[in-house]
């Protein structure tokens, strides 16, 4: 599946959620999509969750 098809599918899903469930359905679906994207990147090894957690808690700086 290329990125155009994936983007179209995500757009259709978000449009359906906003039409079916209103603004809150739209926002909740975007939140879950973002969480799923983060977890997917972490599972592929392209995202270091521990590094992000350390940066948020102040244990490590980006500079």
Tens of pLDDT along the chain (63 residues)?
677 888 888 888 888 888 898 888 888 888 888 888 888 888 888 888 788 788 888 876 555
Return the pLDDT at 46: 82
Question: What is the pTM assigned to this prediction?
Answer: 0.61
- What's the CA gap between 34 and 37, in Å, rounded? 5
Percent of the chain topping pLDDT 90: 0
- Distances from the Cα of 5 to the Cα of 9, 12, 54, angstroms: 6, 11, 35
């Amino acid at each position: 599946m290329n990125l155009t098809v994936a983007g179209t599918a995500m757009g259709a899903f978000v449009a359906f959620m906003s039409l079916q469930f209103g603004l809150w359905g739209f926002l909740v679906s975007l939140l879950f999509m973002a969480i799923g994207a983060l977890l997917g990147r972490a599972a592929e090894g392209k995202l270091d969750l521990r590094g992000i957690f350390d940066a948020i808690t102040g244990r490590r700086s980006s500079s």
